[in-house]
Structure 1
Amino acid sequence: MDLRARPFRSVLYIPASKARALEKAKTLPVDAIIFDLEDAVAAEEKPAARKLLAEMLAEGGFGPRFCIVRINGLDTEWGADDVAALRGAGAHAVLLPKVETTAQLDALGDAIPGVELWAMMETPRGVLNADALAAHPRLGGFVMGTNDLIKELRCRPRPDRMPLLTSLGQCLLAARAHGIVAIDGVYNAFRDEEGLRAECAQGRDLGFDGKSLIHPDQVAAANAVFAPTVAEIDLSRRQIAAFDEARRKGLGIAVVDGRIVENLHIVTARETLAKAAAIAELETVT
């Protein structure tokens, strides 16, 4: 499935050390899973976790869900072993934490050929280098590490995320310039659905493809907020029909609901319909 159409509304972190959680992931209505070997796994559990994860990925059963593995940094004592365990295991992508330079991506790419690379954007230097990172030929997506960014920027967490908007925007600009996926950071209060929906709506309106999540209870809200609405689908269809009719009459623009519709609006409308179709396809086989 084309990454421009493939849904990434919900991207759920799952500890790679938890067999029951890994098994449950096969049944969750998520668009993508980040199997976490880094922060969610204690140092003494990392060898067993990577072995378990490699076995379960090789076994399969995750259906259409996009499977991403967040490894430990290659500069840690666990990174090289993570990569070795994942070669040929069946992950769609490998997510590297705290990416700041293209050299880090080159090193990971050399270590694990044939797998898409993703980058955690969670440091000031990484954000400042977002354009160069997004241009890397192996990179498929950014995942915002907003908790680490708050720490590194020494800013205060706020409901409106004002202190993070520059970082979010810079990474999103780079992602869009180079055609890669952009996933918003986590919402920590996993029982606060109202707050989650508000932050999902902000991320959606900024332009992110979806939300990274820390609990299965957050999936439904992210799926709903990041999906095209019935009204958006209807408007897209009417815009395309009106524009096609205008073109048949030799006109370059159409008018729908009192608003001008040009070719750029049709591009967006077709993308909306393609995303809606991809979501329907995914939900049929999930």
Structure 2
Amino acid sequence: MLGEGLNIFNILRIIVDITLVWYVFYKLIMLLRGTKAIQLLKGIFVVLFIYLVSYILNLQTVQVMIEQVIVWGPVALIVLFQPELRRALEQIGRGSFFSRNRHSEEEILNQIIDALVTSSSYMGKRRIGALITIERETNMGDYIETGIPIQGQLSHQLLTNIFVPNTPLHDGAVIIHHDQIIAAACYLPLSESPFISKELGTRHRAAMGISEVSDALTIIVSEETGNISYTRNGELHRDISQEELANLLRQDLGTSFSQTPTLKTWNWRGRKK
């Protein structure tokens, strides 16, 4: 019985040991994702692969050269990875290295809402017409393909600049996913609902149309009045304030963030990779 207890303890210890190692590797990969360190790591794996091949084929000159790289490699890695290592140590010091990345998600959500509200308010005051659609769960690849690829980080400066009158991209809709502007000058389906007010123009009908066939959110800035409107699930919220727009976005995008925290990427034709 004592031996069985020790065996169970050893098995649990091994499981915990492996789990901790894999978790640390996972956190490191998430930390380095999107930085130059990922490319350097790929280079390290290539060097190790070449060393393995040279060992199998007995290529002595290649082995000697790679052995020197391996000897001095750690020093080079410390120099090359200095920003990433510093960031990792700072996170460990703050206790956030082993915690969920919820704080950064909140920061990204706040940045998205701030960019959308600031841009909409700026354009509304200057009577610059705009149509901004935010993709959620429903695939909008067909509509993205009708526009011009942007693949840019969302900011109120870039978003506002797209809709400046008499520029090639100002006519049509901008489609956003997460914190990326995917495409501009996109064509959206027009709603054929007879209940839409006759005083509303093409932008409002397009916003209602896309909200009727998808779960996308759309912000409309009227060129005639400068008023801001908002559509979701076939509903139109007209002439809303900055505060109301921010609250609606937080309510709808907050759910999207909790369900789909990862970013989808698109190729140049607008299809998801």
Identify the TM-score tier after normalising by the shorter chain.
under 0.3
More helix by share: 2
